[in-house]
Structure 1
Amino acid sequence: MKDDTSQAEKAYWTKDVADDLGMAVTTVRKYASLMEENGYTILRNEHNQRAFLERDILIMKRIKSLAKAHGVTIEDAVNSVLKGVPSNEVQTVSGSDTSTMSPPDTKENEQLQALITRYDDKFNDLKNDNDELKGMIQELQQIVKGQQSYIDDSIKKRDEQLLQSIRELHQARIEAASTEKKGFFSRLFKKESL
Structure 2
Amino acid sequence: MEGLQGNFEALYSPGEVASQLNIQRQTVTKYARIFETEGFAFHKDEKGNRAYTDTNISMFRRVTDIKNRPGITLETAIKGVIPMYKKDSITPGVTEISNENEHHNDVTNEKLDMLMQALAEQQKLILEQSKKIDSLQEQLNEHRLDVKGRDTKLLEYIREHQKGSKEEMMFIAQNEVAAAKQEEQKKSFLARLFGK
What TM-score, normalized by structure 2, do the two folds share? Answer: 0.59
- The structure carrying a bigger helix percent of its residues is 2
Shift of 1:173: 1.6
Which of the residues 49, 74, 77 maps onto 2:52? 49
Q: Give distance in 2, aligned partners of 1:110 and 1:120.
A: 15
8 Å contact kept, 2:71–2:108: no
Which of the residues 101, 123, 133 maps onto 2:121? 133
The answer for the alignment partner of 1:175 in structure 2 is 163
Q: 1:109 to 1:29 in 2, by over 3 A?
A: same
8 Å contact kept, 1:85–1:111: no
The answer for the alignment partner of 1:78 in structure 2 is 74
Query: Aligned to 2:51, what secondary structure does the other structure show?
Result: coil
Structure 2 segments unaligned to the other structure (5+ residues): 7-16, 184-196
Q: CA RMSD in A?
A: 4.0
Q: Which has the larger radius of gyration?
A: 2
Q: Give aligned-pair identity as a percent.
A: 6
Shift of 1:188: 2.0
Q: 1:144 to 1:15 in 2, by over 3 A?
A: farther
8 Å contact kept, 1:14–1:29: yes
8 Å contact kept, 1:35–1:82: yes
8 Å contact kept, 1:14–1:52: no
Comparing both chains, which one has the higher relative contact order based on Cα–Cα distances under 8 Å and sequence gaps of 6 or more? 1
Number of aligned residues: 162
